[in-house]
Structure 1
Amino acid sequence: MSNATLAVPAAGRAGRPRHARPIIAAVLVATFMAAMEVTVISTAMPVIVGKLGGFHLFSWVFGIYLLTQAVMTPLYGRIADSFGRKPIYLASTGLFLVGSLLCGCAHSMVALIIFRAIQGIGGGGLAPLGVTIIGDVCKPEDRPRVMGYLSAVWGIAAIAGPLLGAFFVHTLGWQFCFWVNLPVGLITMAMVWRYLRDGQQTRSRAPIDLVGCGLLVLGLGLMMGALVQFEALPSLTLILLLALAFVALAGFGWRERQVRHPLLPLHLMFRPLLMTANASSLLSGALLIGTTAFLPPLIQGVMGDNALDSGIVIGVLTVAWTITGMTIGRAVGRLSNRLLAVSGGIAMAAGMAALVPIADGGSLIWLTAIAIPIGAGMGLTSIVFTLAVQGGVPANERGRSIALFFFCRLMGQALGSAAFGGVLNAGLAATKGHDVMQELVNPALRAALSPGYLAAATLRLGHALHGVFVLAAIIGIGALIAACFTPKRSVQSP
Structure 2
Amino acid sequence: MTAIVEHVMHQNLDSKLDSSRRVSVSSSSDHHACPSTFVDTKLSTFRLLMAHIGAALTLFLATTDATIVSTSLPTIASELKATQIQYTWVGVAYMLTQTAFQPLYGRISDLVGRKTVLYSSMSIFAIGSLLCGAAQSIEWLICARALAGIGGGGIVSSVWVLTAEIVEIQHRAKWSQALSITWSCSAVAGPLLGGLFSGNHNSSPLSWRWGFYINLPVCFVALVVLAFSLHDVQLLKSPDASWQTFTHKFDFGGLMLFMGGTSCIIIGFSFATEIGWAAVSTLALIIIGILVLICGGFYEKYTTRDCLFPSTTFNDLTTVVILVISFLHNFAFNAGTFYLALYYQAANGSTPLEAGIKMLPYSLGSSLASMPAAWIIGYCQKKTRDTSSQNWIISAGLLVSTLGFGLLNLLDESAAIYAQIVFPLIAGVGIGMLFHAPYQVFTRALKPQELATGTSAFFLVRFTGATVGLAVAGTIFYAQASTRLPNDLSDGVSGSSINYSGLNSIEPLDLRKHILRIVSSSIQTVWTVCSPCLGVAFLLSFLLRKMSIEVVPCNLENKSTDSKGLTAVVEEKV
Q: Return the offset for 1:228.
A: 2.6
Partner of 1:413: 466
Runs of 5+ consecutive residues of structure 2 not aligned to the other structure: 14-22, 26-36, 381-387, 553-574
Partner of 2:565: none
Separation in structure 2 between the aligned mates of residue 9 and residue 133 of structure 1, nearest angstrom: 13
Partner of 1:237: 281
Q: Return the offset for 1:174.
A: 0.6
Contact persistence 2:408–2:424 (CA under 8 A): no
Per-residue CA deviations over 1:112-156 (Å, capped at 9, x if unaligned) read: 111111111111111111111112221222221122221111011
Residue 96 (structure 1) aligned to one of 102, 114, 125? 125
1:222 aligns with 2:251: no
1:174 aligns with 2:208: yes
Task: Report matched runs for 1:111-122 at 5 Å.
Answer: 111-122=140-151
More helix by share: 1
Separation in structure 2 between the aligned mates of residue 164 and residue 378 of structure 1, nearest angstrom: 22
Q: Residues 262 and 55 (structure 1 numbering): CA distance in 2 closer, same or farther, change over 3 Å?
A: same
Q: Residues 392 and 255 (structure 1 numbering): CA distance in 2 closer, same or farther, change over 3 Å?
A: closer
1:472 aligns with 2:557: no
1:51 aligns with 2:79: yes
Per-residue CA deviations over 1:252-294 (Å, capped at 9, x if unaligned) read: 3344342422244365254222222211111110111121100
Contact persistence 1:43–1:311 (CA under 8 A): yes
**What letter corresponds to residue 54 of structure 1 in structure 2?**
A
Contact persistence 1:391–1:492 (CA under 8 A): no
Task: Report matched runs for 1:221-300 at 5 Å.
Answer: 221-234=263-276, 235=278, 236-256=280-300, 257-265=302-310, 267-300=312-345
Separation in structure 2 between the aligned mates of residue 188 and residue 269 of structure 1, nearest angstrom: 41
Q: CA RMSD in A?
A: 2.5
> TM-score if structure 1 supplies the norm length?
0.92
Q: Residues 433 and 76 (structure 1 numbering): CA distance in 2 closer, same or farther, change over 3 Å?
A: farther
Contact persistence 2:308–2:457 (CA under 8 A): no
Asked which structure has the greater CA Rg, the reply is 2
Q: Return the offset for 1:223.
A: 0.7
Q: Return the offset for 1:441.
A: 2.9
Contact persistence 1:2–1:151 (CA under 8 A): no
Residue 190 (structure 2) aligned to one of 161, 175, 193? 161
Between 1:432-441 and 1:390-399, the stretch displaced more is 432-441
Runs of 5+ consecutive residues of structure 1 not aligned to the other structure: none
Partner of 2:561: none
Task: Report matched runs for 1:84-483 at 5 Å.
Answer: 84-170=113-199, 171=204, 172-194=206-228, 195-196=230-231, 197-199=233-235, 201=237, 204-205=241-242, 206-207=245-246, 208-234=250-276, 235=278, 236-256=280-300, 257-265=302-310, 267-332=312-377, 334=380, 336-359=389-412, 361-432=414-485, 436=493, 441-442=500-501, 446-447=504-505, 449-483=507-541
Q: Return the offset for 1:393.
A: 3.5
**What letter corresponds to residue 307 of structure 2 in structure 1?**
P
Q: Return the offset for 1:392.
A: 4.2
**What letter corresponds to residue 244 of structure 1 in structure 2?**
I
Separation in structure 1 between the aligned mates of residue 313 and residue 139 of structure 2, nearest angstrom: 37
Contact persistence 2:400–2:427 (CA under 8 A): yes
Report SS of the residue matched to 1:482: helix
**What letter corresponds to residue 249 of structure 1 in structure 2?**
L
**What letter corresponds to residue 214 of structure 2 in structure 1?**
V
Q: What is the count of residue pairs matched by the alignment?
A: 493
Deviant stretches of 4+, over 6 Å: 6-9
**What letter corresponds to residue 182 of structure 1 in structure 2?**
L
Q: Residues 415 and 13 (structure 1 numbering): CA distance in 2 closer, same or farther, change over 3 Å?
A: same
Residue 42 (structure 1) aligned to one of 70, 73, 82? 70
> TM-score if structure 2 supplies the norm length?
0.80
Separation in structure 1 between the aligned mates of residue 127 and residue 359 of structure 2, nearest angstrom: 28
Bigger relative CO (Cα 8 Å, ≥ 6 apart): 2
Q: Residues 432 and 318 (structure 1 numbering): CA distance in 2 closer, same or farther, change over 3 Å?
A: closer
Contact persistence 1:392–1:493 (CA under 8 A): no
**What letter corresponds to residue 207 of structure 2 in structure 1?**
G
Separation in structure 2 between the aligned mates of residue 425 and residue 490 of structure 1, nearest angstrom: 47
Between 1:247-256 and 1:144-153, the stretch displaced more is 247-256
Separation in structure 2 between the aligned mates of residue 328 and residue 100 of structure 1, nearest angstrom: 35
Q: Return the offset for 1:327.
A: 1.2
**What letter corresponds to residue 334 of structure 2 in structure 1?**
I
